[in-house]
Amino acid sequence: MRTWREAVDGATRLLADAGVPSPRVDALALAAHVLGVDHLVLVMAPAPTPEALARFAELVDRRRSREPLQHITGRMPFRHLVLAAAPGAFIARPETEVVAEEAIAAARAVGGRPVVVDLCTGSGAIALAVATEVPHAQVWAVELSEAALAVARRNVAAHAPAVRLVAGDAADALPELDGAVDVVVANPPYIPPDAVPQEAEVREHDPDLALYGGGPDGLAVPRAVVRTAARLLRGGGVLVMEHAEVQAAAVRELVASTGAFAAVRTAPDLTGRDRMVLARRATGS
């Protein structure tokens, strides 16, 4: 009978041949999923049953077809959380963890009970990171897609039931909070219509509504987010919004052009790429 080490080694080769970016990590994650454990230590793994090996082979075949690992396991790590993942909701990437970190830092700096709004929340990842790492914060999360809302509801119920999840468009969300919000954070869709993602996992499995930002430059939704942030934020409140690396200058310009923000700057992700804009709501504008 094959051992788990042999099974994982074989799966790693198959996934590598299929172009999966992290074949060994994914093979281990799939084996752990079959065994019902968070992490698999091969030297401590039990002897696999034929049923377990058959299940493992089935999951590896799905990953070979470039179905996202998160959809196969139903689990999506994000910062210190493990969230539910499912088709219809955008899979949060590691670079977005830095966006969440900036929002968390801004909320902590407020003190008291900061009010934080996450626009285009998707699975709820950023909102839940803020709610669990700044437990005294009042967090609102807005999402338009019903499929994504279904995933977000599961995550909110599991991790931070106090998060207020709102079905709605980021363009006109939460008028009752106008001028009362301390931090607005967003990872909106921002891909231009002609920039089809190269990764099969993104191109074929992430919902178009979460990818393409509208307009020739992909910035129609980000523009709406910025306008809403200008309306929601109090004087001195902070905007944190993710964007594509090539959009840094354009996004700084669109934020500055509102006349509502000061100290507009670009910040990098973990790899040093320009991936988010930060700005402070001007007082009295």
- C-alpha to C-alpha distance for 1 and 97, rounded to whole angstroms: 42
Q: Is 190 annotated as a binding residue?
A: yes
- C-alpha to C-alpha distance for 11 and 275, rounded to whole angstroms: 34
Q: Is 134 helix (H, G, I), strand (E, B) or coil?
A: coil
Beta strands in 66-188 (DSSP E): 75-78, 81-84, 115-119, 138-143, 164-167, 181-186
The backbone torsions φ and ψ at residue 63, rounded to the nearest 5 degrees and listed phi first, read -70, -35
Residue 3: CB atoms within 10 Å: 13
Answer yes or no: are the C-beta atoms of 252 and 277 closer than 8 Å. Answer: yes
Match 């499912």 to its residue by tokens. 86
Q: Is 268 annotated as a binding residue?
A: no
Residue 109: alpha-carbon gap to chain centroid: 23
Q: Is 212 annotated as a binding residue?
A: no
Helix H or strand E segment including 241? strand 233-242
Q: How far is CA 118 from CA 50, 186, 189, 191, 270, in A?
A: 46, 6, 13, 19, 21
Answer yes or no: are the C-beta atoms of 81 and 131 closer than 8 Å. Answer: no
Q: Is 155 annotated as a binding residue?
A: no
Residue 113: alpha-carbon gap to chain centroid: 24
Query: Closest Cα partner for 55 from 89, 77, 32, 37?
Result: 32
- Would you list which residues are annotated within the binding site for S-adenosyl-L-methionine? 143, 187
- Annotated binding residues for substrate, written as ranges, equal 187-190
